[in-house]
Every structure is written in structure tokens, then in C-alpha cells.
Amino acid sequence: MSKLQRSNHTNGSGKVLGAADWLRVAQAELIYKGIHAVKVDRLARKLRVTRGSFYWHFSSHADLLKQLLNSWIVNNTEPFKKVLESERDGSGKFQAIVDLWLSEREYNPKFDSAVRDWARASPQVARVVRTADEERIALLREIFKELGYTDPEALVRARITYFHQVGYYTLGIVEKPDVRRKLRPYYTRILLGMGATEGLVRAGEAREVGGP
């Protein structure tokens, strides 16, 4: 790599930058400033590189936005599928989903809310978000079926569970982790309904004591 080429890939501290660095800064701008702030010049200043560095990794601004949306799909939707693959029964799957929401490690609620804001200004993004929502609700629906519910109740319970959690983040409710864990058994009882066994509720209480 020539000196000129290297200057296009490094910032002021000499760190070699890649596409992931651009996407990381683009995600932060989307979360805290909105989609209007995800501009090439702005990101270049944040990274302390020239605008030319951008085109080593992306063909255009539209390409950056496409990859940013894809990173949301991978990082905020795939965890739902993966966490279910590690559990065998409906009880374990339900608790695993709750763990995913409470831990906020694999799943980033701020990123999720920011993409939903973006979707209000972009029909294309809105379609992607709608598809992701439908996939997540379908997963929850199958969990409720495994817990003994049949449609349409399984679908309605899945929607209530999902809409409640999305609404929690959309409203910007802020609670300490220990408070959320203490409330977990009550949410478990209400969302699982009278048909839930005591074992399922106790499972939620046990996780509340140990933390997610």
C-alpha cells in the first residue's frame, strides 16, 4: 500500500480504519442525531480522515445506508433467532427472550428505536422494519403455541408481548437493571396468563434473583 493509500485508511492517530469503523460511527450518529446526520463529510470529520477514505469501503452514500440497515438486521434481529436455537422448550425460549431484552448486550434497543425513527422517513426502511417485526412476532407466537396456547390467542399474546417491549423503548422509559429484574416475575405472570404453570413463573423468579 502506497503512502497516499495508507493516508486514506488511517486517522490522525495512525489507526487503520475499515468499513466497520465507518458503520460504528454512522450507527452512533443515527442513534443520537438521526438519519439526517449520517453524512459522509460528517462521519469523515468524526473519524479524522479524508472524504476519500470513505470510497475505499463504500461505493456511495446509499451503499453506506444499505450496510447500516443490514447491520441492524444482523445485530438486532438475528439474536432473537440464535437465542431460541439454544433452548429446547417454550419455557426456556420465553425466558431467553426476556434475558435478551433485559441484558441489552446482543440486542441494542437504542439502535432499534433509531431505525424505527428512520423508517418514518423512508418507505424502504419501513418495509424492512415491518418484516423484522413480523419475524419476531412469529417467533413469539410459536413460543406461546409450545406453552399450550392456540391461535388466535397465541398470536394475540405474541403481539402484546412484543408491542409492550417495543413501546417500553419507544417511550424512553429509564429504569435501573435491578428494578427491571424485580418486576420480571410479575411481567411473566401477566404475559403468560392463567394458563402458565407455576414452574414457568418460578423460572422467571429464579432468573430475577440471579440476574439475566
**pLDDT tens digits for range 28-43:** 999 999 999 999 999 9
Residues 6+ apart with CB under 8 A from 100: 79, 80, 83, 106, 107
User: Can you give the pLDDT at residue 87?
Assistant: 75
**Global confidence as pTM:** 0.81
**Alpha-carbon gap, residue 63 to 68, rounded angstroms:** 9
Number of domains present in the structure of the chain: 2
pLDDT at 14 over 80: no
70: in domain: no
18 lies in the same domain as 99: no
Question: By residue range, what is the domain housing residue 19?
Answer: 3-64
For residues 163-171, give the mean pLDDT: 91
59 lies in the same domain as 102: no
69: in domain: no
174 lies in the same domain as 114: yes
**Per-residue pLDDT tens digits for 102-161:** 888 888 999 999 999 999 999 999 999 999 999 999 999 999 999 999 999 999 999 999
